[in-house]
């Protein structure tokens, strides 16, 4: 069985599609970094008139082939990109989702976005980790909230990651056990460029990592769950 991954007309690199799957351990890359630097350009019609990512179903695994059709003065090329033991239908769905996000430039995630010293700080973590409480403590220190609970991310024309609140919940904050609060305008910012990603975890992991949202690479720092004011003070210290 062969399947072509449909993608809207957009130009991005193979690594933008493969990296999210590789980080989860769902695929094993076969072409190396140089191969992943190739651009995908999908036309609106004709799956093989541009460059396509084809999935071939082998017993107990799927193989992805990058295919470039012949053009003027070009014989056409193909490249084995990765192998995966993930169910092919699920793998195809995940690839379509990733390509859709890359093409549209929008993504909604569970988390908070706060403007700290003019920088957009994205805070994520499991439910009950203290994302909203930490954001509230930062507001008490004079910083501003962009989004609580749901953050709408997009890649802007300059290639930077921008974040805002979903229209229906802009200006509201939910604190577990205390209710929903409407914030005053001076505590709210419409939008911010995301500079850092704070991931709340049970224990702090040393060193900086990176995460990719909408094809944009953002530095990530993991902080341990702790008192909200202590977390807010730590974040202020990091970005002063």
Q: What residues act catalytically? A: 110, 131, 149, 204
DSSP string, 29-68: ESSHHHHHTSEEE--SS-TTSSEEEEEEEETTEEEEEEEE
3 state SS of 9: coil
Which CA distances in Å does 178 have to 139, 174, 184, 196? 16, 8, 18, 28
| CB environment 190-204: b (16+ within 10 A), e (fewer) | ebbebbbbbbbeeee
Residue 97: how many CB atoms within 10 A of its CB? 12
Nearest CA to 22 among 94, 123, 125? 94
């Amino acid at each position: 069985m062969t399947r072509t991954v449909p993608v809207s007309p957009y130009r991005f690199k193979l690594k933008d599609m493969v990296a999210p799957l590789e980080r989860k351990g769902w695929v094993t890359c076969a072409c190396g970094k140089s191969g992943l630097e190739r651009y995908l350009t999908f036309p609106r019609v004709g799956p093989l008139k541009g460059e396509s990512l084809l999935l071939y179903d082998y017993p107990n695994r799927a193989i992805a082939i990058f295919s470039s059709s012949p053009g003027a003065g070009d014989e056409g090329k193909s490249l084995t990109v990765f192998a995966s033991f993930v169910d092919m239908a699920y793998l195809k769905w995940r690839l379509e989702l990733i390509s859709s996000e890359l093409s549209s430039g929008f993504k909604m995630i569970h988390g908070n976005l706060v403007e700290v010293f003019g920088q957009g700080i994205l805070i994520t973590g499991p439910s009950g980790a203290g994302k909203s409480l930490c954001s509230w403590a930062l507001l008490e220190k004079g910083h501003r909230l962009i989004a609580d609970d749901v953050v709408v991310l997009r890649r802007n024309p300059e290639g930077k990651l921008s974040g805002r609140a979903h229209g229906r919940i802009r200006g509201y904050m939910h604190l577990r056990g205390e209710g929903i609060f409407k914030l005053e305008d001076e505590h709210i910012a419409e939008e911010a460029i995301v500079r850092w990603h704070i991931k709340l975890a049970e224990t702090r992991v040393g060193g900086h990592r990176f995460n990719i949202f909408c094809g944009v690479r953002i530095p990530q720092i993991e902080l341990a769950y702790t008192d909200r004011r202590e977390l807010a003070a730590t974040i202020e210290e990091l970005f002063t």
